[in-house]
Amino acid sequence: MRLSNKTESNRAIKSVLDDCRIRTGQPVKYLQTDGDGIFRSVAFQEMREKESFVHIRSAAYDHEQSALVDRECRTLLESTATFLSESGAPPSFWGEAQAHFTFTRNKMPMHEKIVDGNKVYLSPDEVLYSCNPFSLKHLVAFGTQVTCLIPPERRQQSCVSCVGFGFEKIERSIL
C-alpha cells in the first residue's frame, strides 16, 4: 500500500493489522514502532484500544531495537538499486524493480522443515499461504530479454521479444 501523505497512515496501519490477523488467525498482541508522531495521534490511540494491542516504542536513534526491520529495509533498497543498475533500466522503474525483488524473495526456499524424516525447504509464500511451490525455472533476472507468447485469439504473430520487468500475480506471467 502506497501512501501519498501521512494522513493515510491510519488506513495503512489498520490494513497491516487486518493482514496479520488473516494470515495467522490471531489478533496482533504487540506492535513495535519507531515512535513517529502518527503513533501518538488520537486516532491511533483509539485504534490501539479497539484492537487491544500493546504499543511498544523503540528508543530514538537506537537501531539495536529495530535491527531486523532496518536490515530488511536496507536489503530491499540495496537489492532494488542493484536490479536497476544491472538491468540498465531508468529510475522510473524503481517500483517494478522493488516488486520483482519482493516476488523473487518470497518464492525462494529458505525455511527448513522436517517432512517424513526428510529435510525440506519452503518459501515464505508456501509457509504463509500453504500453496504449491513456485517453479524456480520460471524466474528471470530483472530487465532480462524474454519471449512472450501471445494467445491465439489475440495474435498477429505467435510471440514477441521484450524485456521482463516483473511477474503478474494473477496469471503468473512475466511483464
111 phi, psi to nearest 5 deg: -100, 115
**Which residues make beta-bridge pairs with 160?**
148
pLDDT digit string, tens, across residues 2-54: 666 767 788 888 888 888 787 778 889 988 887 778 888 898 899 999 999 99
| pLDDT over 90 (residue 67) | no
Residue type, 75: T
This prediction has a pTM of 0.60
**Is residue 17 helix, strand or coil?**
helix
pLDDT digit string, tens, across residues 126-139: 887 888 888 888 78
Distance of CA 133 to the CA centre of its chain: 17
pLDDT score for 146: 80
The secondary structure element, H or E, covering residue 75 is helix 67-87
CA distances from 44 to 13, 25, 40, 58 (A): 9, 22, 7, 17
Ranges assigned E (strand) in the chain: 30-33, 54-57, 111-115, 118-122, 144-149, 159-164, 167-168, 173-174
Across the chain, what does the average pLDDT equal? 81
Measured distance CA(163)–CA(104) in Å, rounded: 17
- 65 confidence band (pLDDT: 50, 70, 90): low
